[in-house]
Structure 1
Amino acid sequence: MTCAASREPERYTTSQLAAVSGYSAQQVRDLDRLGVIPPADRQSNGYRQFAGLHVTALRAYRGLAIAVGPVVARATMRDIRGLPIDEAIARIVALHVDLARSRADAVAALRALDSIVDESAHNTPAVPGDTMTITELSTALGVRSSTLRFWEQEGLIMPERDEPLAARRYPPDAVSDARIVATLRAGGYRIPAIQAVMTSLHTLDRTTDAREALHNRLRDIAFRSDALLRAGADLSNMLHSTAVNDAVARNR
C-alpha cells in the first residue's frame, strides 16, 4: 500500500512539474505560454501553479511530437481543448489515419519495386536504340511530362539528347531510374531523400538500397504509430478531465 508521504503532490510549481515530466522549467513555461498545455493557475504572487492534469498533458505532447512532429503536435494540443469531445477525438483519429495511409503507401511502393525487379529479370536485353520518348515514359509511369523534366533538373534521371534542344530519349537505365523514383515518391519520399537513394543506387545494387530505404520508412512509421497509441490514452484522459473541470466551473 502506498503511504501518504510517497504520493505525488496534487499541486506543482514550475520546477516540480519539470522534474516529474522530464522537461526543463523553461520548456514548461514555453508550452504553457503557447497554449500547448492547459493554462496554469496563478498564485497571489504571480507564480504558476500546475496540477496532475498538466503532467498528463505534457506526457501526451511528448508522444504526439514523436508521432507527428512538434509543429502538428502543438497545433493539435491547442485545438482539441477548444473542440467538443467528439470532434477532438475525431481529430486524433485522423492522425492515426494519416500514419496508416503513409504505411500503406510504403508497402505499395515495396510491392511496386519488387515488380520492377521481377520484370527486369524476365525482360530481354536492351538493344541499341531501345529508348522511350518523354510522352511514352510519362504515360507508362502515370506522371506528367513536366514531372519527368523536374526529376531531370534534380539529377534523378538522365535522358539522352543528341543536341541541347533535341527531343529527350530514355534508354533502359533511365527508364529503370524513373520507375524507382516514381516508386519512392509513391512511398512518401521527398526529393532530397530520393537523391541520396539514387546516388547510392548508381554505385550499389540498383534496388537493394531503395528497398532498405522503404523498410526504414516502415520502421519509422511503426515507431511513430506506437508513440501515437501511447499518447492516445493521455489525450483521452486530458480531454475528459478538462470537460469535467469545465462542467464544475460552469456550475459554481
Structure 2
Amino acid sequence: MLPASERTLNGYRSYSPLHAQALRAFLALVPGHGHAAATAVMRAVNLGDFGKALRLVDESHARLLDDRRTLQAVEAALRDLAPVPREGGETFVGPLARSLGLRPATLRAWEKAGLISPVRDPGTGYRIYSASDVRDARLIHQLRRGGHLLEQIAPLIARIHSAGGIGPLASTVDDWHGRLSAQGRSMLRGATALNLYLDLLDGEGGQTGSSAKPGRWATASAR
C-alpha cells in the first residue's frame, strides 16, 4: 500500500512526504471503497498500473450506483404495495394460484427466479407454501400488476426478509439513503486524497496518465 522506502546506512527505513500522502490516500479510500478495494487500488498505483487503479475506483462507484438504483426500485415498489392480509397456514400450488388468479406455472417461474422458496413434501414432492411464502407471492403479484419486472422485485423481497417485514423495511429507507450518501461523500474524500498522491508521484518523475509505464516507484516496490 506504500511505495518502497529508502534505507539509511544503519538499515532504518526512511519515509518521505510521498509515503505520508500514500498512507493518507489509503486511509481515505477505506471508508468509501472498503479495505480490500482500497488495498488493491494502492497496490496498483505503486506498481505503476494506473489504469487498473482507476478501473477499481470506477467499479466501486458503479456498485454504489447499483445500490442507489436498488433503493429507488424499493421505494417505488413500496409505494405500489397495498396491505397484505396475514395468512394462517400452509397451502399448495393449486389453491394459491387460484386465490391469486394465476396459473401454477407462474408461481413456479417466480420460484425459479428465486423470489419464493416453498419446501417440498418429503412423501409426495408437492410444493408447500408457508404463510410467509403466501405473503411474498401476494406482494409479487401486486408489483407485477404495477409493471415491476422480476429483477426489480427480487431486491425488494430480499430486503423485506432481512428487515423482518414491510413495516420495518419502510422505516429503514431513510437510514438507507443516509448510508449511501455517506458512502458517496467518503468516495469523494478518497478521490481527493488519491489525486494528491498521484500529483506527488508526477512530481517525483512518474507519469500517471493512461499510457504510463511502471516508473521508479514500481521498480522499487518489486525489490
Sort the TM-score into its range (normalised by shorter chain): 0.5 to 0.7
Tell me the alpha carbon deviations over residues 100-119 of structure 1, each in whole angstroms, 9 at most, x when there is no partner. 1211112212222332x23x
For 1:105 and 1:37, the matched residues in 2 are separated by 36
Q: Does 1:68 align with 2:57?
A: no
For 2:67 and 2:12, the matched residues in 1 are separated by 44
Q: Which residue of 2 aligns with 1:167?
A: 126
User: Which of 225, 235, 248 pairs up with 2:184?
Assistant: 225
Q: Secondary structure of the equivalent of 2:15?
A: strand
Residue 42 of structure 2 aligns to which amino acid in structure 1?
M
For 2:19 and 2:95, the matched residues in 1 are separated by 66
Q: Structure 1 residues 59 and 131 mapped into 2: Cα distance closer, same or farther (>3 Å)?
A: same
Q: Could you state the TM-score of these two structures normalised by the residue count of structure 1?
A: 0.58
Q: CA deviation at 1:175?
A: 3.3
Q: Does 1:237 align with 2:196?
A: yes
The structure whose RCO (Cα within 8 Å, separation 6+) is larger is: 2
Residue 8 of structure 2 aligns to which amino acid in structure 1?
Q
Residue 30 of structure 2 aligns to which amino acid in structure 1?
A
Note the residue ranges of structure 2 that are not aligned, 5 or more in a row: 98-102, 141-150, 208-214, 217-223
- Identical aligned residues as a percent: 21
Q: Structure 1 residues 104 and 138 mapped into 2: Cα distance closer, same or farther (>3 Å)?
A: farther
Q: Structure 1 residues 212 and 81 mapped into 2: Cα distance closer, same or farther (>3 Å)?
A: farther
Q: CA deviation at 1:144?
A: 1.4
Q: Which residue of 2 aligns with 1:50?
A: 15
Q: How many residues align?
A: 188
Q: Structure 1 residues 169 and 247 mapped into 2: Cα distance closer, same or farther (>3 Å)?
A: closer
Q: Structure 1 residues 88 and 94 mapped into 2: Cα distance closer, same or farther (>3 Å)?
A: same
Note the residue ranges of structure 1 that are not aligned, 5 or more in a row: 1-35, 153-158, 202-206
User: Which of 92, 100, 112 pairs up with 1:144?
Assistant: 112
User: Which of 177, 191, 197 pairs up with 2:163?
Assistant: 197
For 1:166 and 1:185, the matched residues in 2 are separated by 25
Residue 75 of structure 2 aligns to which amino acid in structure 1?
L
Residue 112 of structure 2 aligns to which amino acid in structure 1?
R
User: Which of 83, 95, 99 pairs up with 2:64?
Assistant: 99
For 1:242 and 1:187, the matched residues in 2 are separated by 45
Q: Which residue of 1 aligns with 2:148?
A: none
* Contact 2:70–2:155 (CA under 8 A) maintained in structure 1: yes
Q: Which residue of 1 aligns with 2:147?
A: none
User: Which of 37, 44, 48 pairs up with 1:79?
Assistant: 44
Residue 144 of structure 1 aligns to which amino acid in structure 2?
K
Q: Secondary structure of the equivalent of 1:131?
A: helix
Q: Could you state the TM-score of these two structures normalised by the residue count of structure 2?
A: 0.65
